[in-house]
Amino acid sequence: MNRGGRSRGNQRGGNFSRGGGGRSRRHYRNQPPPNGPSRLWVIKNGSKDVKPPSNPADHRDGYSDKISSSSLQSETNMDAERTKVVQSPCLVASDRVPLNDGFSDKISSFSQQSETHLPSKFGDKNGPSPSKGPQTTGGSNLLENDNHSVEPFDICPPKTTIPFVLKPPLLVQNRERRNQTKSPMEGKNAIILRSGMVLLKSCITLNDQVEIVKKCRALGLDLGGFYQPGYREGAKLHLKMMCLGKNWDPETGKYGDRRPIDDAKPPDLPVEFNRLVEKAIKDSHSLIEKEDKAGNAEKILPWMSPNICIVNFYSENGRLGLHQDRDESRESLELGLPVVSFSIGDAGEFLYGDQRDIDEAQKVVLESGDVLIFGGKSRHVFHGVTAIHKNTAPKALLEATNLRPGRLNLTFRQY
């Protein structure tokens, strides 16, 4: 019943009436008021059918607004993070300034790992496989070309610790210096082993040995330096090798201007090495003339000027089977131009003979500073190294160079 044209519902400030002047309860269920029903209003009016709107924009109380805003912001941030991962500057072309390769690789790797760990609902259902990303391997200090790699070998590795070593008495030091500077012509320091084959004991002074080791180390760590040689069938030699002047290939037995394994050019033969070779040949000629007055020293042991050298480093277990040096030029072989061998470091057992027979071969121990020369009739002698005597290198040499345990051998010849 209406009084004064207004319903009781309107008089109370409500939004519906029991009569026909206001909105019906049925109409409200489908369309809530513009301002939305507050929680207090719903409890006061006893409505159980009113549900909070599903659209977050329709929430008007502060708490609901904060929750909605936080949820939207979180989801937006996750989408933005995924967009950054997929559209990383390392993976998508851009007109910006490109990053350097190393830094780009790191960002690319990190981006792919981040994408892999995103929740599945943000990406493809299957998701990117971690194994498809770039695989990184540990770096190595190698001298590489397109097909092969050569690992540098240091004959004098740096000292990790500095041991406390007592210096020998001055008397002992002076005795060692006299032995090193003693002429090979004195006593048994010069021996003719056979026609055209001479052994000069302690021919190389300690100072010269130190310089040879340091020079070989510097050359051995550079391009064309020490490497592990092998034969065609795959067998490896029990030593490290470096060629000077020309390269000698164990697989083909031929000399060349470059090393097949890495196309490296052999280092040049140092001039100071040539001087030591010339001195050794002169001392040998003096010994031959003294022992055989009727003979011609240069005919028994021809003169030569070396232009090639093979440097071998034998470890404590190193060895080399009996063989002949027959790969030089035909002219050099026919003239019998000698091979001059320097020994530095630990002593080695050297075999030589006319046949490739260990039992029939003769043996001599080559110590640090010894020089062995064989030419003329002995040019094609079979020779090899069967054993290395451990801990026999001069202590003064080791202190000055830190040479590895083993034997450094240089063989000079004229191609």
Binding residues for Fe cation: 323, 325, 383
By the 10 Å C-beta count (0-12 exposed, 13-18 middle, 19+ buried), 184 is classed as: buried
Partner residues linked to 409 by β-bridges: 312, 343
Distance from C-alpha of 307 to C-alpha of 147, rounded to nearest angstrom:
30
Q: In the numeric block, which tokens belong to residue 95?
A: 């007109």
Instruction: Let me know: does 9 contact 22? Beta carbons within 8 Å.
Output: yes
> Tokens representing 69?
């805003």
Using alpha carbons only, how large is the chain's radius of gyration in Å?
Answer: 45
Contact (CB, 8 A) for 133 and 109: yes
Look at residue 372 and give its three-state secondary structure. Answer: strand
What is the DSSP track for 179-242? HHHS-TTSTTSEEEEETTEEEETT-S-HHHHHHHHHHHHHHHTSTT--B--B-TTSPBPSSEEE
Q: What is the DSSP letter of 376?
A: G
Per the CB < 8 A criterion, the answer to whether 323 and 383 are in contact is yes
Which residue's structure tokens are 């939207």? 72
Would you list which residues are annotated within the binding site?
Answer: 323, 325, 383
Tokens for 312? 């071998």
Are 144 and 218 in contact by the 8 Å Cβ rule? The answer is no
